C-alpha cells in the first residue's frame, strides 16, 4: 500500500519574496503553465491582498490553469481572505492559505498580540474563510518555534473550524531533521482531530537542511504535503527545493513508499525558466538541475558509467528532462520547426503575433550563432522584449571600443517609451562603459549590487547570460539579458532591470 505525497509549489509566492526575484504577471503566468505541465498538485500563485499587481497575478493564473489547485496566501483577517477568494473566483480548484504567527517571539514582538487574541483570530478567520471556500489551509507562522501546548490548542481549533490542510512552517530554518519530524508526529498524536486534516511541511534552508527536514516531516511525522520551490528559490537561503524532494522520493521509493503526481521530465525546463526569469543562476553542482549533476569528470567514473550506467548514476538524466541531443535548430530552420520546438519545450505563446516576434528574434540569433540549443530558445523567449513591446526601455544597438592601454568607450542606442535615444561613456571595461552610457541618459541613480555572466550552453560559442541586480529606494530587482556578445547581453540585462524598477510596487510583504 502506498499513499500520495502532495507537492505544493510556492515559487510564485515564497520564492518571489527573495530580494530581486519579483516577476511580472506574464512571467508568472508562463511559470504557472510550466508548473501545470510539471503536474504540481497545488500552485501558490501569490498573496492577493498584498497589492493590486499580486491580485491580478493570482486572478490570471486562477483563470488560466485548470489541472492544478490554485492557492492564494492571506493574513488571518476578513479583508485579506475576501480578496483571496475574489482573485480565485475563476479557478477550477481553489485554496485559501491563511497564516498567523504562533511563536511567543512573533506574537509579542511582531503582532503585539496576546496568545488568547491569536487563538481567537485563528479560529475566526478560518471560520470566515470556510464560509467562502471548501479548501482552506492554515499555517501557524514560526510554528516550529512555538510552544507545543499552545500550538496544539490553536491547530485543534482551526481543524474544528474546517481547515483541511495544516502546514507547520519552520519559518527561520532552525529545525534539524529528527526534531522536526518528531515535532510533526507529536502534533498529530496530541491533537484529537488531527486525522481530519492533511499535514504539511514548509521548511526554509538557513542551515542547508530544508530538504532533509521536509523528508523527516514526511517520514517520521507522517506529513503528506511538502511546500517547496523550483531551484529552492526563496528569501535568505531559500526554501525546500522541489526537484530535490521529488527526486529523493522517486529514487528512494523503496524507503518512502509514496506516490507522486509529478511529471519529472518537466523538471529541467521549470528550473531553467525560473532561473532565466528571476536571474537567480543555478550553481553547477546543484543536485538534479545543476550543469554538473550528471557529468562525470573522473576517468574511473566515465569508464564505469559507459559499462553500466548504474555504477555511478542513481537517476537517469532523461527522467528529469536532460536530453542527449542538444542541438536543435539553425539558420535554415523554418517557422514550423521553431514552433514545434517551442511546443516540445513546453513554451506556450498566446498568439500568432507572439510566435512571429519570437521567430524574428530566433532568425536574428541564428544569423550570428550557428547552432541554436534548447537553452538559447528558452533564453530568447524569457526576454521580456520578445513577449512585451510595452516595456519602457528596449535595447537597439551598441558600439564599443576597447584596446590594451586605452580606456574603453561605448555608445548605446536604446528606446525610452518608443523614442530612440543614445548614451555615450567611458568606463573601466567595455561592460562598465556600456552601462554608464545607458545611465548617462536614464539617470536612475540605482546602485548595482550584483553583476554575473554565465555561458548558457557551456562553451565560448554559446550566448552569455547576464544578471544585473539593481537597488533603488529600498527596492531590489534583477534584470536578465542574453546575447552571443556579453557586452550586449549586459546592456540588455541593465535595461531589463530598469524596466522592473519602473514598475511600481505597493506590495505588503508576507512575513513568512
Ligand atoms: O515561512 C513561512 O512561515 C511562510 C508562511 C507564510 C507559510 O512562508
Ligand atoms: Zn516560507
Residue listed under C-alpha cell 573601466: 428
CATH code for 387-502?
A: 3.30.160.270
**Cβ contacts of residue 44 below 8 Å, gap of 6+?**
8, 9, 10, 12, 13, 14, 71, 72, 73, 97, 227
Atom index in ligand 1 nearest the CA of residue 227 equals 7
Which residue has the CA at smallest separation from atom 2 of ligand 1? 512
For ligand 1, pick from 139, 168, 227 the residue to mutate: most ligand atoms within 8 Å of CB: 139
Cα of 140 vs centre of ligand 1, distance in Å, is 8
Q: Tell me how far CA of residue 170 lies from CA of 41, 175, 249, 277, in angstroms.
A: 21, 7, 21, 27
How far apart are the C-alpha atoms of 333 and 445, rounded to whole Å?
A: 43
Tell the CATH superfamily of the 3-278 domain: Aldolase class I (3.20.20.70)
Atom index in ligand 1 nearest the CA of residue 97 equals 7
Cα of 145 vs centre of ligand 1, distance in Å, is 13
CB of 238 within 6 A of ligand 1: the answer is no
Atom index in ligand 1 nearest the CA of residue 510 equals 6
> What are the domain boundaries of the chain?
3-278, 294-320, 335-385, 387-502
How many Cβ atoms are within 10 Å of 419's Cβ, its own excluded? 7
Residue 170: nearest ligand to its CA?
A: 1
Show pLDDT as tens, one digit a residue, over the chain (512 residues): 559 999 999 999 999 999 889 888 988 998 999 999 999 999 999 999 999 999 999 999 999 999 999 999 999 999 999 999 999 999 999 999 999 999 999 999 999 999 999 999 999 999 999 999 999 999 999 999 999 999 999 999 999 999 999 999 999 999 999 999 999 999 999 999 999 999 999 999 999 999 999 999 999 999 999 999 999 999 999 999 999 999 999 999 999 999 999 999 999 989 999 998 898 989 889 999 998 888 765 666 667 777 777 787 899 999 999 875 555 788 888 898 888 888 877 677 778 888 898 899 899 889 888 888 877 887 887 765 455 556 899 999 999 999 999 999 999 999 999 999 999 999 999 999 999 999 999 999 999 999 999 888 767 888 899 999 999 988 888 899 999 999 999 999 999 999 988 875 545 555 44
CB of 150 within 6 A of ligand 1: the answer is no
State the helix-helix crossing angle for 335-344 and 352-368, rounded to 10 degrees: 100
Cα of 44 vs centre of ligand 1, distance in Å, is 12
Which residue has the CA at smallest separation from atom 8 of ligand 1? 512
Amino acid at each position: 500500500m502506498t499513499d500520495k505525497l502532495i507537492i505544493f509549489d510556492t515559487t510564485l509566492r515564497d520564492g518571489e519574496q527573495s530580494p530581486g526575484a519579483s516577476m511580472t504577471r506574464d512571467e508568472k503566468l508562463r511559470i504557472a503553465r510550466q508548473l501545470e505541465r510539471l503536474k504540481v498538485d497545488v500552485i501558490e500563485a501569490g498573496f492577493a491582498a498584498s497589492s493590486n499587481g499580486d491580485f491580478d497575478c493570482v486572478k490570471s493564473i486562477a483563470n488560466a490553469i485548470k489541472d492544478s489547485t490554485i492557492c492564494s496566501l492571506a493574513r488571518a483577517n476578513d479583508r485579506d481572505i475576501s480578496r483571496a477568494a475574489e482573485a480565485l473566483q475563476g479557478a477550477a480548484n481553489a485554496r485559501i492559505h491563511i497564516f498567523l504567527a504562533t511563536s511567543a517571539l512573533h506574537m509579542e514582538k511582531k503582532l503585539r498580540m496576546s496568545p488568547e487574541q491569536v487563538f481567537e483570530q485563528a479560529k475566526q478567520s478560518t471560520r470566515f474563510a470556510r464560509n467562502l471556500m471548501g479548501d482552506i489551509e492554515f499555517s501557524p507562522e514560526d510554528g516550529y518555534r512555538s510552544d507545543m501546548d499552545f500550538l496544539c490548542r490553536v491547530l485543534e481549533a482551526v481543524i474544528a473550524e474546517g481547515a483541511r490542510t495544516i502546514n507547520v512552517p519552520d519559518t527561520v530554518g532552525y529545525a534539524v531533521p529528527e526534531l522536526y519530524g518528531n515535532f510533526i508526529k507529536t502534533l498529530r498524536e496530541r491533537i484529537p482531530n488531527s486525522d481530519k486534516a492533511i499535514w504539511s511541511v514548509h521548511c526554509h534552508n538557513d542551515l542547508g537542511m530544508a530538504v532533509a527536514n521536509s523528508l523527516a516531516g514526511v517520514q517520521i511525522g507522517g506529513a503528506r504535503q511538502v511546500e517547496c520551490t523550483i531551484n529552492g528559490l526563496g528569501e535568505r537561503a531559500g526554501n525546500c527545493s522541489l526537484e530535490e524532494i521529488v527526486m529523493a522520493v522517486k529514487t528512494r521509493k523503496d524507503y518512502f513508499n509514496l506516490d507522486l503526481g509529478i511529471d519529472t521530465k518537466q523538471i529541467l525546463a521549470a528550473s531553467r525558466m525560473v532561473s532565466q526569469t528571476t536571474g537567480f543562476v543555478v550553481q553547477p553542482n546543484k543536485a538534479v538541475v545543476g550543469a554538473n549533476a550528471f557529468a562525470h569528470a573522473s576517468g574511473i567514473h566515465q569508464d564505469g558509467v559507459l559499462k553500466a550506467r548504474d555504477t555511478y548514476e542513481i537517476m537517469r538524466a532523461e527522467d528529469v528532462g536532460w536530453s542527449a541531443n542538444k542541438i536543435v535548430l539553425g539558420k535554415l530552420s523554418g517557422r514550423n520547426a521553431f514552433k514545434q520546438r517551442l511546443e516540445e519545450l513546453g513554451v506556450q505563446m498566446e498568439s500568432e503575433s507572439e510566435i512571429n516576434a519570437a521567430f524574428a528574434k530566433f532568425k536574428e540569433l541564428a544569423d550570428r550563432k550557428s547552432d541554436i540549443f534548447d537553452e538559447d530558445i528558452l533564453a530568447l523567449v524569457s526576454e521580456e522584449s520578445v513577449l512585451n513591446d510595452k516595456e519602457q526601455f528596449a535595447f537597439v544597438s551598441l558600439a564599443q571600443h576597447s584596446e590594451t592601454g586605452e580606456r574603453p568607450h561605448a555608445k548605446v542606442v536604446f528606446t525610452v517609451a518608443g523614442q530612440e535615444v543614445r548614451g555615450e561613456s567611458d568606463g573601466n571595461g567595455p561592460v562598465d562603459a556600456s552601462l554608464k552610457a545607458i545611465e548617462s541618459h536614464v539617470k536612475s541613480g540605482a546602485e548595482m549590487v550584483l553583476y554575473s555572466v554565465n555561458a548558457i550552453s557551456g562553451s565560448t560559442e554559446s550566448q552569455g547570460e547576464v544578471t544585473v541586480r539593481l537597488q533603488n529606494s529600498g527596492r531590489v530587482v534583477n534584470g536578465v539579458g542574453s546575447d552571443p556578445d556579453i557586452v550586449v547581453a549586459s546592456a540588455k540585462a541593465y535595461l531589463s532591470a530598469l524596466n522592473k524598477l519602473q514598475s511600481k510596487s505597493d506590495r505588503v510583504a508576507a512575513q513568512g
